[in-house]
Amino acid sequence: MTQEDIQTRIIDGKKLAARIEADLKEEIKTFNRKLGMAVILVGDNPASLVYVNHKKKAAERLGIDAQIYHLSPVMTQDALVSFIQELNANKTVDGIIVQLPLPKHFDENAVIEAIDPNKDIDGLHPLNMGRLFIGQPHLIACTPLACLRLLKEVYSDLVGKTVVVVGRSRLVGKPVLQLLLNEQCTVIQTHSKTKDLAGICRTADIIISATGTAGLIRRDFVKQGAVLIDVGIIRTADKKITGDVAFDEMMGHASAVTPVPGGVGPMTVMMLLSNVVQAYKNNHLKK
């Protein structure tokens, strides 16, 4: 097959997110009370401020009551944990997120562990990570879920696909590997110390890249006809947003690729809201 034979599909994350939003809206109407989401932001990280406002707006479009708790960066770890415990006990709150990163003096792991795992809509609590790892997921991390939903736009069946995951973070790389293993894929995890990344990537039917290194995944890393999910978000010197994948190089070579922006990003926000709905159903409808 020549390169000209391939029509590369651009997987539109915005459109898919809009479709899921419409479905969630209908489902939420059937619940007998308004859902509540608490977003904790500590300090004034400008990127975090943008992200939390984005999440609040999306929640409001769905009729979810989203409260942003903007807390002082000089508060103590104990005070933050007590605040989270109050939200855990609050019956009007279905989901809680702590926007990361936290200022340096906080122990992020301990803060995440303070969240009630049944309200942990970021899916980062060790109990929820562990449940995913034993194949009994409860609340799953949002970006990995977004990757899976985007892949399901391309493949109705992922069984037996070879997936190379580039990156091994707690937030993306590790949980997405496990999620795809649970889908019966053969998964290879790579990272910054991997030897011959290009050669390993060339074995993949699907590459999921989550490194934050602009243009890392070049055309010669990619088997013709492979599918690429680009998680990376990098702000360039000229203030543009770009991803891990050398997008233009994939045209006519990959069979499908997610754009940055407009791919994984909008889907991640939608998966967070989907997790609010999931948390409500787990806690109130499945007893």
Nearer to ligand NDP, 93 or 102 (CB): 102
Catalytic residue among 94, 122, 230, 244: 122
Nearer to ligand NDP, 117 or 167 (CB): 167
Residue from 167, 183, 221, 271 binding ligand NDP (CB under 6 A)? 167
- Does position 147 bind ligand NDP by CB under 6 A? no
Q: CB-side exposure of 45: number of CA atoms within 13 Å?
A: 14
Q: What is the DSSP string of 136-158?
A: --SS--HHHHHHHHHHHHH-S--
- Does position 165 bind ligand NDP by CB under 6 A? no
- Does position 234 bind ligand NDP by CB under 6 A? yes
Assess whether 55 carries a catalytic annotation.
yes
The nearest distance, CB 266 to ligand NDP, in angstroms, is 8
Torsion from C-alpha of 191, 194, 197, 203, nearest 10 degrees: -90
**Distance between CA atoms of residues 107 and 90, nearest Å:** 24
Residue from 38, 58, 197, 229 binding ligand NDP (CB under 6 A)? 197
Residue from 95, 123, 137, 173 binding ligand NDP (CB under 6 A)? 173
Residue from 45, 88, 169, 224 binding ligand NDP (CB under 6 A)? 169
Strand partners, 120: 96
Assess whether 122 carries a catalytic annotation.
yes
193 burial via Cβ count (<10 Å: 0-12, 13-18, 19+): exposed
Nearer to ligand NDP, 161 or 168 (CB): 168
Which residue's entry shows tokens 């203030």? 239
Q: Is 164 helix (H, G, I), strand (E, B) or coil?
A: strand
- Does position 137 bind ligand NDP by CB under 6 A? no
**Distance between CA atoms of residues 98 and 108, nearest Å:** 9
Residue from 96, 180, 206, 233 binding ligand NDP (CB under 6 A)? 233
Residue from 36, 123, 175, 232 binding ligand NDP (CB under 6 A)? 232
- Does position 143 bind ligand NDP by CB under 6 A? yes
x-or-dash string of contact with ligand NDP, 260-279, rule CB under 6 A: ----xx--x-----------
**Distance between CA atoms of residues 69 and 242, nearest Å:** 30
Assess whether 99 carries a catalytic annotation.
yes
- Does position 211 bind ligand NDP by CB under 6 A? yes
Nearer to ligand NDP, 118 or 190 (CB): 190
Q: Is the dihedral of CA 132, 137, 141, 145 positive or negative?
A: positive
Structural tokens at position 6: 């391939």
Q: For the stretch 53-74, what's the b/e string if a residue is b when 16 or more beta carbons lie within 10 angstroms of its beta carbon?
A: eebbebbeebebbbebbeeeee
Catalytic positions are 55, 99, 122
Query: Which residues make up the interface to ligand NDP (CB under 6 A)?
Result: 143, 166-169, 171-173, 190-194, 197, 210-213, 216, 231-234, 264-265, 268
